[in-house]
Chains A and B, each alone.
Chain A
Amino acid sequence: IVMTQSPATLSVSPGERVTLSCRASQTVSRNLAWYQQKPGQGPRLLIYGASTRATGIPARFSGSGSGTEFTLTISSLQSEDFAVYYCQQSHNWPPLTFGGGTKVEIK
């Protein structure tokens, strides 16, 4: 299953609402996770089951979608949210597959 994320880069200002997209080449049901990665660090799980926040993840992060279309929304971007975000499917594996990532940068 090929995962495609858009856009590749998003330039935003702190406080703005951000929407990231992820599309699967075939249905993954709700077996979709989102990760955040900052430079020099391993990824951190944000969302699993397409819409459930992982432990300790702030409420400003939300996920939606099912089947082939998914969205990660950050309601009000904080300075610590500038990072790269990846989606990943666990519906049909191996292999586990990731999207190419969306970099959220400061405008």
Chain B
Amino acid sequence: EVQLVESGGGLVQPGGSLRLSCAASGFPFSSYTINWVRQAPGKGLEWVSHISSSSNAIYYADSVRGRFTISRDNAKNSLSLQMNSLRAEDTAVYFCARYSHLTFLTGASYALDLWGQGTTVTVSS
């Protein structure tokens, strides 16, 4: 089955750390760019980070740059998000999502075409 499965969420105190994982199956993981997207309780979607297939292009949202680190292990079909110096505003469901180059009749575009079910991170004392 083609899927992404997140894990590693939990309750952590402000200033603490947490490492999220995303396990891929059913598709050639090493060929795809992956993003992390989060959703605060009752809020919309917020892009967090991006890593290209070979890890040579990595980007972060301003809100997490310098605190979060994205990495991947293509041999293990897995992705990680190391989150340090966590704040209350990092409380959210974190999704990993595959970023695919999709073609249509007159061109092509990128979109997040496969999402996991999410893992919940709560930052609170």
Number of residues of chain A lying within 8 A (CB) of chain B: 30
Question: Is the C-beta of A58 less than 8 angstroms from some C-beta in chain B?
Answer: no
Name 16 A/B residue pairs within 8 A (Cβ), A-sorted.
Answer: A30-B107, A33-B111, A33-B112, A40-B117, A42-B95, A42-B116, A42-B118, A43-B95, A48-B113, A49-B102, A49-B104, A49-B111, A54-B113, A94-B50, A95-B59, A97-B47
Number of residues of chain B lying within 8 A (CB) of chain A: 28
Are A30 and B112 neighbours in the complex by a CB distance under 8 Å? Answer: no
**Interchain Cβ contacts within 8 Å, total number:** 82
**Chain B residues within 8 Å of A, Cβ to Cβ:** 35, 37, 44-47, 50, 59-62, 95, 97, 102, 104-105, 107-118
Given known pairs A52-B104, A98-B45, A101-B44, the reply for A43 and B112 (CB within 8 Å) is yes
User: CB-nearest residue of chain B relative to A33?
Assistant: B111
Are A95 and B109 neighbours in the complex by a CB distance under 8 Å? Answer: no
**Chain A residues within 8 Å of B, Cβ to Cβ:** 30-33, 35, 37, 40-45, 48-52, 54, 86, 88, 90, 93-101
Point out the residues of chain A lying under 8 angstroms from B115, CB to CB.
42-45
